[in-house]
Structure 1
Amino acid sequence: LRYLMCGTDCIILDPENEYRFLSDAVGGSFFNISLASPNHINPFDLPTPREDEKAEDVLRSNVLNLVGLLRIMLGGLTPEEDAIIDQALTETYAAKDIVPETDPALWLERIPLMQDFEAILEGMEGGESLVRRVKKFTKGTFAQFFNQPTNISMEKPLVVFGIRDLEDELRPMAMFIIMRYIWNKVRSELKKRILVVDEAWWLMQREDGASFLFGIAKRARKYWLGVTTITQDVNDFMKSAYGQPIITNSSLQVLMKQSPATIEVVQKIFNLTEEEKYLLLEAEVGEGIFFAGQKHVAIKTVASYTEDQIITTAPEEVLKIREAKKELGR
C-alpha cells in the first residue's frame, strides 16, 4: 500500500489468491491463472529491445530462458535433447521472420505458439521423443494454458497473478512463465516497480526456476525493479544451490515467527544469537527481526484497522468481510 502511495508499481505472484482484496481495494488487476481461466500468457512472448540492447542478444537470451522452461515442462533433457530444443526454438522464431535482421517493432505481431514449436520439432531428426512429450501442452489437457496468445496487460499500478487454482504439477511451470512475462515487460520499459514473489519455494524446487529467479534478483536494480521473495518453508528454499545467493543478494531481510523444526537452519543462515533464536520461536503475529546489512533489530508491525481489513488472510476475518460485502450489495 505504501509503495503504491509513493508512485511505485507493484507486481505480485500470489499462490493462494490472498491479495485479491488488496487488488479490489486499490483498483488493480487480478489475473486468475488456471487451466480453465480466460487469462493467458504465451511462453514464447518476447521483450521489445531497448535502444541500448542488440536484437541478437535479446533473442539469444530469450531462447536460453525458454530452454530452461522446457526442461521443467518436459521433465529434464539429455545433452542431445537440449541441443535439439535450442535449435528448434531458434527455427521457430525464424519461421515467423523473428530474426536479428528484422525490425523488432514487428516482432509482437508474429509471436509463435507452442504448436508452432511442435511443428518445427516434428521435422527435426532426433525430435520424435520430444514431440510426444510436447503434445501434452499443445493438444492435451494443458493446451488451454500453454498454447494460447497473451491476452493480458500490466497497465495498472497493482497487478496480481493468482495461481491458487492451478494443479501442483503445473505451479513451477506457471510461475516460471509468469516471471518471464513480468521480466520481459520490466526490461522493455523502465519504470519504478516492486515484484513480490510469495511462496517462492515453489519456484526454487527446480534448478532452472531457481536460476531464473536468482538472475532476476541479481539484475533487477538495473531496470528500476525491487524484488521481494517470501517463503514459509526455509528448508525447501535452501535446498536449492541458489537459495543462499538469493538471500545474500538481498539488501533487507525480515524474519517472522519460526518453528522448532526450522529454527536451527535459520540460526545458521542468519547468524542469530541465542536470544534472537528464542525471540523468533516465541514471536507473536507481526513480530520478528529486521535485517539491514550487518545490523538487525527486533520489530513489531502494527496494521491500521483499514489496512488489516484489506490484507488479512485469517479465515474467520475473510468470511466476515465477505458477508459484510454481501450485506452492502443488497
Structure 2
Amino acid sequence: MAKKKLDAIDIAAQQRAREQAEVEQAFLTGVRTLRDFIAPSSVEIQASYFRLGAKYGRTIYVYGYPREIYTGWLSSVINIDEVLDISMFIYPVDTQVVLNNLRKKVTQLEASMNINAEKGRVRDPAMEAALQDAEELRNQLQIGSEKFFRYGLYVTIYADSLDELNFIQHKIETIFGQQLIFSKVASNQQEQGLNSTVPQLMDQLQIRRNMNTGAISTSFPFTSADLTDGKGVLYGINMHNNGLVIFDRFSLENANMVVFAKSGAGKSFTVKLEALRSMMTGADIVIIDPENEYQKLCDAVGGSHIRLSLNSDTRINPFDLPRVIDTEEADDALRANLVTLHGLLRQMLGGSVAGSIGLTAAEEADIDQALIDTYARVGITSDPLTHNSTPPTIHDLYDTLLHMGGTGPQLAQRLRKFTSGTFAGIFSQQSNIDINNAMVVFNIRDLEDELRPTAMYIVLNHIWNITRTDQKKRMLIVDEAWQLMKYEDSASFLFSLAKRARKYQLGLTTITQDVEDFVGSKMGRAIVANSSMQLLLKQSSSAVDVLSSVFKLTEEEQKRLANFPVGQGLFFAGQNHVHIQIQASDTEYDLINTSPTKQLPSETPIGGYGAV
C-alpha cells in the first residue's frame, strides 16, 4: 500500500517537472522572440564607434572631475537636443575601508608637506587643498553625515553619419569641458560601452571615480523645475516632465505678472484662461481691454462690460477719491490723488512725450494750486472727514484755471477740448459706473488713438481707488501695456501700482507685444523686477536678445524662444522657471477663443489651445 502511494507521488512530481520545463521553454522562446524583435538588423563594432543597422554610435566615459561640482551639472547634457543614452553606476564602499585609506593618505600628505618645509620649498596649494578635503571627508564619514561610493558615468551618442557623430561628440565634450569635467572615447571598448549603456544593468567598462554622498547627489538626472503647488490654478503642462504647473500667484512675495509675446503667440488667450480659472478660486477680475478681446468671456461669466467711447454714456471722474477706513491711508488719499492728477494733466496737456509743448515750472505751480483750490471749492481738504463730499470735475478745474492769475487762462484754453471740445463728456462729469462684479472689463477700443493712453491712465486710477476702498483678492489685467509706457507719467503710475499692489491683495498683469520699448524703458524694467511671475511666449528675433539679457536665458532657451509653437513658452515663478504648454478644455476654449478664423473641433490644437 505504501509503495503505491510512493509511486503516485513520483508520477505527480514528474508531471510537475514536465509542466515546469514546458513553461520555461515557452518563456525562453518568448525571450528569443523579443530579442529578435528589438534587435537591429546588424551590429558592426569598430575601434572608436559601432553601427547598429544604419545608425552610428559611440560611447564616451567620464574619467575626471573638478574639486567641486554643483547641482544640475549633468542637466545640460541630459536636455541637449540629440539622441543619446546615459548610464550611471553607483557602488557603495564600506566606510571603515575608506577611513583607513584616508588615514594613510593624510599621513602621506602631512609627511610631504613637512619635507617641503624642511627643505625650504615653496608651499604647494594643491597639496594643502587635498589635505583639507581629506580631513573634512574623514570628519563627515566618522560622524555618519556622508557615505562613500564608486561612480561610473557613460554616454552613448547616436547619429546618421560619422561626421554628425563627431559633431555631437564635440558638443558633449565641450559641455563637459566648460565644467572642468574630462571625458574620453572608449577606444577598442565600444562593444563594452554599448552593453554598459543599454538597459541591462551591466557595467562592462568599469571606469569609476570616488565620490561622497554630497558630490554624487549633484548628478541626479531629474533636475527639472517643478512648479506644482498645493493650491492655485492650473497654468499648463511642464514640458520637462509632463507634470502639471499648478500655482497660486498670491503665495509669492507679490502677485504681479508680466506676459511678453509677439502677435498671434497666444498671450491674450493665456491670460483669459488664467482669469477664468482664478475666478473659481474667489478672485475678482478687472481688465483694461484695448481691442475688445475679452467681451465674449465677460458675457459668458455674467460680468460687467463697460464700453468707453465719446458716444457712450459711461462717465469716469478722475477727481474721485478712495473711501478708505485706515487713518494713515485717509490722510494720504487727497495728496496721492493730487500727484496722480498732476501726471494725468501733463499727459492731457501734452507734456509727457518728446517733442510736445510741455509744462514750464510756472505752469506746474499754477496747476498744483488750481487742483488744491478746485477741491477746496467743493469742501474737500486734507481733513479725511471732508472726503465724502461730492468731488469736483474737470469743468471745475477749468473754471479755477480760467479765473486765476499767471498761466491759468492759457492752461484753461489747452484743457478746453476735454471740457467742451472734441473729448468732452467722458472724463468731465461725475462717475456713473459700478465695478461691483466678479469680472469687469473696460473696453477702450472705440476711443481715438490720441485719447487711449489718457483713458487707460484714468481707468487705472479709478480701479486703484476702488481697490483701496474695498480690499479683496483681485487681478488687474492691463493688455497692450506698451501704450502706457510711452508716457513718463502713466509709466510711473503703472510702476507705482506694481509696487503697492500686494498691500491691497491686488495682482497686476501687464501684457505687451512691444518688448523692446517696454523692457528698454527704466519703468518697464522696474515693473518686470517687481513681478514675481513672468511668461515668455514666442518672440521675434529682435526681442529674444533683449529678453535673454533681462531674464538670463541659456543659449538653448534663446533658440527655443524664437521657435516656440503657439501656446508654448517659458514660465517663471519665483526662482524657478519651466518650459510650459498652455492647455484648455474644450469648454474653456469655446468661451475664450476669439480668433477670426474659428477652428473646427477636428482642427483644434492639442489641449484645445487657440491663439489670439
1:186-230, CA deviations, whole angstroms, 9 ceiling, x for partnerless residues?
A: 001111111111111111110100000000010000001111111
For the pair 1:37 / 2:317, whether they are aligned, the reply is: no
**1:112 corresponds to which residue?**
392
**2:363 corresponds to which residue?**
81
CA–CA separation in structure 2 for the residues paired with 1:101 and 1:292 = 42
CA–CA separation in structure 1 for the residues paired with 2:492 and 2:294 = 26
Give 1:124's match in structure 2, choosing from 388, 393, 404: 404
CA–CA separation in structure 1 for the residues paired with 2:516 and 2:491 = 14
**2:328 corresponds to which residue?**
53
Q: SS of the counterpart of 2:477?
A: strand
**2:524 corresponds to which residue?**
243
Contact 1:176 1:203 in 2 (8 A): yes
**1:328 corresponds to which residue?**
none
For the pair 1:216 / 2:497, whether they are aligned, the reply is: yes
**1:205 corresponds to which residue?**
486
C-alpha spacing 1:298/1:29, structure 2 compared with 1 (3 Å): same
CA–CA separation in structure 2 for the residues paired with 1:235 and 1:319 = 35
Q: CA deviation at 1:7?
A: 0.7
Taking the TM superposition and a 5 Å limit, the aligned residue runs for 1:97-246 are 97-101=379-383, 103-104=385-386, 106-107=388-389, 110-126=390-406, 127-246=408-527
Q: SS of the counterpart of 1:146?
A: coil
C-alpha spacing 1:257/1:96, structure 2 compared with 1 (3 Å): same
Q: SS of the counterpart of 2:327?
A: coil
Question: Cα RMSD (Å) of the superposition?
Answer: 1.6
What TM-score results when the alignment is normalised by the length of structure 1?
0.93
CA–CA separation in structure 2 for the residues paired with 1:67 and 1:197 = 22
CA–CA separation in structure 2 for the residues paired with 1:67 and 1:60 = 11
- Aligned AA (1:81): E
Contact 1:312 1:318 in 2 (8 A): no
Give 2:540's match in structure 1, choosing from 259, 263, 284: 259
Q: SS of the counterpart of 1:106?
A: coil
Q: SS of the counterpart of 1:145?
A: coil
CA–CA separation in structure 2 for the residues paired with 1:183 and 1:177 = 10
Contact 2:379 2:386 in 1 (8 A): no
Q: SS of the counterpart of 2:476?
A: strand
CA–CA separation in structure 1 for the residues paired with 2:521 and 2:372 = 29
- Deviating beyond 4 angstroms after TM superposition, the runs of 4 or more aligned structure 1 residues are none
Q: CA deviation at 1:2?
A: 1.1
Q: CA deviation at 1:146?
A: 2.1
Give 2:375's match in structure 1, choosing from 84, 89, 93: 93
1:18-61, CA deviations, whole angstroms, 9 ceiling, x for partnerless residues?
A: 00011000000010111111111111111113233354421111
Q: CA deviation at 1:167?
A: 1.0
CA–CA separation in structure 2 for the residues paired with 1:159 and 1:319 = 30
C-alpha spacing 1:318/1:176, structure 2 compared with 1 (3 Å): farther
What TM-score results when the alignment is normalised by the length of structure 2?
0.51
Q: SS of the counterpart of 1:196?
A: strand
CA–CA separation in structure 2 for the residues paired with 1:100 and 1:248 = 34
Aligned length: 318
1:299-330, CA deviations, whole angstroms, 9 ceiling, x for partnerless residues?
A: 0011111111111131122999xxxxxxxxxx
Q: SS of the counterpart of 1:161?
A: strand
Taking the TM superposition and a 5 Å limit, the aligned residue runs for 1:282-297 are 282-297=563-578
For the pair 1:311 / 2:592, whether they are aligned, the reply is: yes
CA–CA separation in structure 2 for the residues paired with 1:116 and 1:301 = 50
1:120-163, CA deviations, whole angstroms, 9 ceiling, x for partnerless residues?
A: 11122121220110111111010122212111111110000011
Contact 1:251 1:292 in 2 (8 A): yes
Structure 2, unmatched stretches of 5+, are: 1-275, 352-358, 602-612
CA–CA separation in structure 1 for the residues paired with 2:392 and 2:600 = 43
CA–CA separation in structure 1 for the residues paired with 2:364 and 2:558 = 45
**1:64 corresponds to which residue?**
339
For the pair 1:26 / 2:301, whether they are aligned, the reply is: yes
Higher strand share: 2
Q: CA deviation at 1:105?
A: 5.9
C-alpha spacing 1:58/1:318, structure 2 compared with 1 (3 Å): farther
CA–CA separation in structure 2 for the residues paired with 1:17 and 1:300 = 25
Q: SS of the counterpart of 1:60?
A: helix
**1:324 corresponds to which residue?**
none
Structure 1, unmatched stretches of 5+, are: 321-330
Contact 2:370 2:397 in 1 (8 A): yes
Q: SS of the counterpart of 1:282?
A: coil
CA–CA separation in structure 1 for the residues paired with 2:575 and 2:554 = 13
- Aligned AA (1:97): G
1:264-297, CA deviations, whole angstroms, 9 ceiling, x for partnerless residues?
A: 1111111111111111111111100011223211
CA–CA separation in structure 2 for the residues paired with 1:212 and 1:48 = 20
**Higher RCO (C-alpha under 8 Å, 6+ residues apart):** 1
Contact 1:32 1:163 in 2 (8 A): yes
Contact 1:48 1:104 in 2 (8 A): no
Contact 1:207 1:240 in 2 (8 A): no
Q: SS of the counterpart of 2:589?
A: helix
Q: CA deviation at 1:239?
A: 3.4
Which segment is superposed worse, 146-155 or 44-53? 44-53
